[in-house]
């Protein structure tokens, strides 16, 4: 019967499920009331332990509820929450007075020195004043609560309870007689009707409150059950210690417990959310640290690998100048491997710069045809070495506002990737067109294709498809990640399409049109 809070109970909007649960919690007591109403006057034995046990439980529930609500007020500074918290504080004080004044419990006329009417009038004051606090909760404005106002409000709630209890005991002679022994006098029914109307008025104020929060729903449930308590324990029964008396008191304890249970569940849910948030922060911090360590490693590795490349290239050039015919085949092998290593180092450095946001675009007007031509020039050696043919369908006039070097680099990576996976003698198709308010550049190959599972993570760094141990295509799996980074910097996106393994792939660049 208690909602599992997903937010702050006093601020979150109720879901449909929570609204249905609250409606059920209100309808069940009404159904029980309808079933018990014909038997409310059935006399039962006086159980001496019932009153002190019931009242002690009620005081504890009210005090804990008041403490939780007032504790929330320290953070939210909400005047409405404060009014409700003071209401529970008031009911706890009135419950104590009601217990101490109950005839025959601790003394023949109670311990507070009242008379035969004292307990009944304390009950009336108690059940008439709490709905007024609920009205204050429903009608309170948005103005923040001050510390001085909070202290005055709590002191005033206790003082009101003391004044009303004193009026019902020391001033009993000033009040009309409503009890005769444990039975009711005619004036009693008029007084209890006014008390019942106070609760109905509080329920009406809650119903009109907008926007309605989850706490509003459960306070409405409280007032519904409160009305059932008054009906059974003070209107439909004949006096004390009949079925209505006992059932009404049980309804009263249930009514006091709804908001407490909601606050407890809210607190539990809040602790769970805090634990999850703490775990997420720790995981995020660990991931950030790992990412920074990886970036530092990539930058250091690229730098340390690039340093020995320069003297190797210089030595090869000196060997070629000194004796072009000497060890020509061996030099070609070394040159190819040096070029391959240089591409790997450049990829590592590019990924490091991109992930750290250290690449600045130099934008300018450029044509798609020129960008494709530059990319083909860079990827030409591998395409020619594999005797592949390139079919172009790139019309003139497709103008971009972009960094020509970086877009050409992205196209070169895609062309190199297509050449690696297309069989020797195969075909690569490059097309460009204006579609959907963007320039579409498509590179289609006749290679190994893409498995669906691979396609979802293809543009992540170091991700590659399955390759044999000899790794004929080489690379670190960074080319496509660099493409995604560079195109996203331009406000575009890249997509990969494939009809399946062994059926080729198509990569599509979406780039904004020049203004």
pLDDT band at residue 98 under the 50/70/90 scheme: very high
Closest Cα to residue 494, out of 414, 378, 387?
Answer: 414
Closest Cα to residue 412, out of 456, 453, 367, 382?
Answer: 382
pLDDT band at residue 2 under the 50/70/90 scheme: very low
97 and 170 within one domain? yes
- pLDDT higher than threshold 80 for residue 4: no
Q: Calculate what percentage of the chain has a pLDDT beyond 90.
A: 39
Q: What is the pLDDT of residue 353?
A: 64
Torsion angles phi and psi, residue 510, rounded to 5 = -105, 115
The tens digit of pLDDT for each residue in 457-485 reads: 677 766 665 444 344 444 556 778 888 88
- pLDDT higher than threshold 70 for residue 436: yes
The total number of structural domains in the chain stands at 3
Closest Cα to residue 102, out of 194, 179, 18, 35?
Answer: 179
Q: What is the pLDDT of residue 504?
A: 87
386 and 471 within one domain? yes
Q: Compare 359 and 396 and report the one with higher pLDDT.
A: 396
Q: Compare 422 and 48 and report the one with higher pLDDT.
A: 422
Q: Compare 256 and 513 and report the one with higher pLDDT.
A: 256
Q: What is the pLDDT of residue 188?
A: 92
The helix/strand/coil state of 406 is helix
295 and 191 within one domain? no
305 and 387 within one domain? no
Q: What is the pLDDT of residue 59?
A: 95
- Residue 234 belongs to a domain: yes
- Residue 2 belongs to a domain: no
Q: What is the pLDDT of residue 315?
A: 77
Helix (H) or strand (E) holding 244: helix 243-322
Q: What is the pLDDT of residue 266?
A: 80
Q: Compare 349 and 423 and report the one with higher pLDDT.
A: 423
- Residue 338 belongs to domain spanning: 291-355
Of the ranges 66-75, 150-159, 302-311, which is most confident? 150-159
Q: Last residue of some domain: 312, 332, 355?
A: 355
CB-CB neighbours of 424 under 10 Å: 9
**3 state SS for 414-449:** HHHHHHHHCCCCCEEEEEEEEECCEEEEEEECCCCC
Q: What distance in Å separates the CA atoms of residue 353 and residue 360, rounded to the nearest whole number? A: 10
pLDDT band at residue 268 under the 50/70/90 scheme: confident
341 and 370 within one domain? no
- Residue 8 belongs to a domain: no
Torsion angles phi and psi, residue 223, rounded to 5 = -70, -35
Candidate from 8-22, 66-80, 110-124, 459-473 with smallest mean pLDDT = 459-473
Q: What is the pLDDT of residue 1?
A: 35
Q: What is the pLDDT of residue 355?
A: 63
pLDDT band at residue 106 under the 50/70/90 scheme: confident
For residue 497, the domain's CATH number is 3.30.565.10
CB-CB neighbours of 378 under 10 Å: 15
Q: What is the pLDDT of residue 295?
A: 67
- Strand-pair category, 427-435 with 389-393: parallel
203 and 72 within one domain? yes
**Mean pLDDT, the chain, as a whole number?**
84
**3 state SS for 288-318:** HHHHHHHHHHHHHHHHHHHHHHHHHHHHHHH
Average pLDDT of the segment spanning 349-377: 78
Q: What is the pLDDT of residue 448?
A: 80
Helix (H) or strand (E) holding 354: helix 328-355
61 and 131 within one domain? yes
- Residue 269 · residue 5 · CB < 8 Å: yes
Q: What is the pLDDT of residue 91?
A: 96
The tens digit of pLDDT for each residue in 378-424 reads: 888 888 888 999 999 999 888 888 888 888 888 988 998 889 888 89
- Residue 1 belongs to a domain: no
485 and 401 within one domain? yes
Q: Last residue of some domain: 303, 333, 355?
A: 355
Candidate from 10-24, 66-80, 180-194 with smallest mean pLDDT = 10-24
- Residue 409 · residue 482 · CB < 8 Å: yes
Number of H helices, E strands in the chain: 13, 9
217 and 143 within one domain? yes
pLDDT band at residue 122 under the 50/70/90 scheme: very high
The structure's pTM equals: 0.59
The tens digit of pLDDT for each residue in 312-342 reads: 777 777 777 777 777 777 777 777 667 657 6
Q: What is the pLDDT of residue 347?
A: 63
| DSSP summary character for residue 231 | I
- Residue 10 belongs to a domain: no
- pLDDT higher than threshold 50 for residue 155: yes
Average pLDDT of the segment spanning 195-214: 92
Average pLDDT of the segment spanning 293-311: 66
Q: Last residue of some domain: 258, 280, 302?
A: 280
297 and 203 within one domain? no
pLDDT band at residue 247 under the 50/70/90 scheme: very high
The interaxial angle of helices 328-355 and 479-489, nearest 10 deg, is 40
Average pLDDT of the segment spanning 80-97: 95
Q: What is the pLDDT of residue 512?
A: 86
């Amino acid at each position: 019967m208690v909602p599992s809070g997903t937010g702050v109970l006093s601020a979150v909007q109720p879901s449909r499920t929570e609204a249905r649960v609250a409606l059920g919690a209100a309808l069940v007591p009404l159904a029980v009331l309808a079933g018990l109403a014909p038997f409310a006057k059935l006399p039962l034995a006086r159980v001496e332990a019932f009153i002190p046990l019931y009242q002690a439980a009620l005081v504890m529930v009210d005090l804990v509820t008041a403490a939780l609500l007032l504790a929330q007020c320290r953070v939210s500074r909400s005047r409405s929450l404060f009014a409700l918290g003071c209401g529970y504080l008031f009911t706890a004080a009135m419950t104590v007075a009601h217990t101490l004044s109950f005839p025959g419990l601790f003394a023949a006329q109670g311990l507070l020195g009242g008379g035969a009417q004292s307990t009944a009038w304390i009950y009336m004051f108690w059940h008439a004043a709490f709905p007024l606090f609920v009205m204050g909760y429903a009608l309170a404005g948005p103005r923040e609560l001050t510390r001085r106002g909070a202290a005055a409000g709590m002191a005033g709630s206790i003082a009101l309870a003391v004044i009303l209890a004193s009026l019902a005991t020391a001033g009993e002679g000033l009040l009309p007689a409503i009890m005769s022994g444990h039975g009711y006098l005619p004036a009693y029914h008029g007084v209890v009707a006014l008390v019942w109307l106070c609760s109905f008025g509080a329920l009406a104020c809650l119903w009109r409150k907008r926007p309605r929060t989850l706490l509003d729903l459960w306070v409405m449930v409280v007032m519904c059950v409160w009305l059932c308590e008054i009906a059974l324990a003070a209107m439909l029964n004949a006096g004390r210690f009949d079925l209505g008396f006992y059932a009404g008191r049980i309804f009263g304890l249930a009514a006091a417990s709804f908001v407490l249970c909601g606050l407890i569940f809210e607190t539990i849910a809040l602790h769970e959310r805090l634990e999850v948030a703490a775990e997420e922060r720790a995981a995020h911090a660990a991931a950030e640290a790992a990412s920074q360590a990886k970036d530092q490693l990539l930058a250091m590795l690229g730098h340390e690998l690039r340093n020995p490349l320069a003297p190797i290239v210089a030595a090869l050039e000196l060997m070629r100048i000194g004796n072009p015919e000497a060890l020509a085949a061996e030099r070609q092998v070394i040159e190819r491997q040096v070029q391959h290593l240089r591409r790997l180092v450049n990829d590592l450095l590019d990924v490091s710069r991109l992930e750290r946001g250290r690449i600045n675009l130099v934008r300018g007007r450029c044509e798609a045809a020129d960008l494709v031509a530059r990319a083909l020039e860079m990827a030409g050696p591998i395409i020619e070495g594999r005797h592949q043919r390139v079919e172009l369908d790139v019309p003139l006039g497709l103008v971009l506002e972009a960094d020509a070097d970086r877009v050409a680099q992205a196209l070169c990576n895609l062309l190199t990737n297509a050449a690696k996976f297309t069989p020797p003698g195969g075909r690569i198709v490059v097309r460009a067109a204006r579609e959907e308010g963007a320039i579409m550049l498509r590179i289609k190959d006749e290679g190994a294709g893409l498995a669906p599972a691979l396609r979802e993570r293809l543009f992540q760094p170091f991700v590659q498809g399955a390759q044999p141990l000899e790794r004929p295509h080489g690379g670190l799996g960074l080319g496509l990640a660099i493409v995604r980074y560079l195109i996203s910097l331009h406000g575009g996106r890249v997509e990969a399409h494939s009809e399946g393994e062994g059926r080729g792939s198509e990569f599509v660049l979406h780039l904004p049109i020049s203004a």
